[in-house]
Amino acid sequence: MRRMVFVLLASLCGIAAASADYARQWPIDTDARAASHAVELTPEVYASVQHADLRDLDVLDADGRPVPAGIVRPPSSSSERRRALPWFRMPATTRRTDWQLMAEVDADGHLRVERLPSQTAQPATTLLLDATALDRRPHALELDWRTDTGFDAGYRIEGSDDFEHWYGLGRGRLVDIREKGRALQLRRLTIEGGGKPPRFLRLVPDDPTQALPDIISVEAISTDTRMAPRWLTLPPRADGDGTYEFRLDGRYPVRWIDLDTGGNDARSWRLQSRDTPQAHWVDRISHWVVYRVGTGRSPARVLDTPVRDRYWRLVPEGEGDAPSLRLGYVPERLVFVAGGRAPYTLVAGSLRVQREPRPVQAAIDAAGPPAIAQLGASGARAGEAALSPARDWKTWGLWAVLALGVLAVGGFALRVLREPARPVD
């Protein structure tokens, strides 16, 4: 009986060990001289991962043993870049016939502004900026000025490529308040969205009579992005209730949201997402104004934190054509310590096993930056068997031992009952 129980437990443990694996694998091309490596996660890897926290992603050595590994999110930006922009004062009105300045673009594409002496002077409350020298869209404008009285004014930031059609890029306030040696100053205006930089910018005051301060300089501020966002375009699937649903094929860390309406449009939307078809929808953007008019279009929105949900939904406020949903993300890196024997293998996709938490980031910070490694062609490992929930073989084994014990006791009792009664002396 003991031998039978031992054989049963060994068989159960063997089944559990054989099924505890990952769905897919990638060979890693590493530098033998490096003590640590980093690999960029590809769309194939994101499509294979099952858990939102990427815990079913690991690195194995040549003997199949996991090595210390962890996910490192790349910084969204590094140092700031500043560039001074030529600036010009203009009246708040946008009608060319009312301008007190004549603005033209010369043969080199730069803005040339001349004052029209024949017209009467009007308050110059709008600031026009020549941004033709910028190679990327700035994320902010920073102004410097002189003032004795102080001011507090709200401004709308607009962009244009042809000096005729203007579109919104955000809004903010410029503040300079001073009292008894104390000063409160807000000099920076944030520009929304990304993509191609506009050729011209202008600051339009909320109050058209609000005079500009004595401007000293205007600087465009951008960031050296280490990795530009990569975009995924999802076609819509119309639902019966007038909404549009989208399905993402992987656990991408989505941060940027944009819509492609195809043609001219202007509507408000509510953007929602969820992790599974059974989960409740979560509002990501409750009131999203999206427009496209000619060459002007609304900027992309940026989420506060990455979202890895697979299911997305758009709820429109008004009728129109079905849009395509564009989701932007920055690929993460898996950093691992070169322990055990090379070669190393990246494995992903499992509902049975998961990566053991290790203090990898602390070790990398102390040892220096890891070497960049490359992933080879992907291949199947355990396949679909790794994507089914693991059974609790230990519990099953204990129940099996208990059942065998019950059978053994029952068999012993039956044998005792079948034996003839012994005569009493």
| Alpha-carbon span 152 to 210, nearest angstrom | 9
Residue 346 contacts residue 375 (beta carbons within 8 Å): yes
* Prediction pTM value: 0.59
Neighbours of 88 (CB within 10 A): 19
Rounded to an integer, what is the distance from CA 252 to the centroid of its chain? 7
Residue 387 contacts residue 50 (beta carbons within 8 Å): yes
Q: Where in the chain is the domain with CATH 2.60.120.260?
A: 230-329
Q: Alpha-carbon torsion 61, 65, 66, 67, what sign?
A: negative
Residue 218 contacts residue 127 (beta carbons within 8 Å): yes
Pairing of strands 301-307, 254-260: antiparallel
Residue 191 contacts residue 223 (beta carbons within 8 Å): no
Pick 80-223's CATH classification: 2.60.120, 1.10.10, 3.30.420, 3.40.630: 2.60.120
pLDDT of residue 386: 81
| Alpha-carbon span 361 to 38, nearest angstrom | 11
The CATH number of 230-329 is: 2.60.120.260
Angle at alpha carbon of residue 255, lines to 249 and 257, rounded to 5°: 80
Give whole-number Cα distances, 113 to 101, 272, 273, in Å. 6, 46, 48
pLDDT of residue 186: 86
pLDDT of residue 77: 45
| Alpha-carbon span 255 to 252, nearest angstrom | 9
The b-or-e profile of 233-264 (16+ CB within 10 A means b, else e) is ebebeeeeeebbbbebebbbbbbbbbbebeee
| Alpha-carbon span 328 to 322, nearest angstrom | 20
Structure tokens at 107: 């043969």
Residue 69 contacts residue 358 (beta carbons within 8 Å): yes
How do the pLDDT tens digits run along the chain, 425 residues long? 445 444 444 444 444 443 458 999 999 999 888 889 999 999 999 999 999 999 999 999 999 999 999 998 765 444 567 899 999 988 765 454 444 445 555 555 555 655 555 455 567 789 999 998 888 888 889 999 987 777 889 999 999 988 888 999 888 889 888 777 777 888 889 887 666 789 999 999 998 888 888 899 999 988 655 557 889 999 988 776 788 999 999 999 999 999 988 788 888 899 999 999 999 999 999 888 888 877 667 878 888 889 999 999 999 987 888 889 999 999 999 999 988 898 999 999 998 888 988 888 777 777 778 889 999 999 999 888 888 776 555 655 666 667 777 677 666 667 766 666 556 55
| Alpha-carbon span 417 to 420, nearest angstrom | 8
pLDDT of residue 391: 59
Rounded to an integer, what is the distance from CA 268 to the centroid of its chain? 22
End-to-end CA distance of the chain: 35
Give whole-number Cα distances, 268 to 289, 320, 343, in Å. 4, 11, 53
Give whole-number Cα distances, 354 to 72, 160, 166, 417, 419, in Å. 17, 51, 52, 52, 55
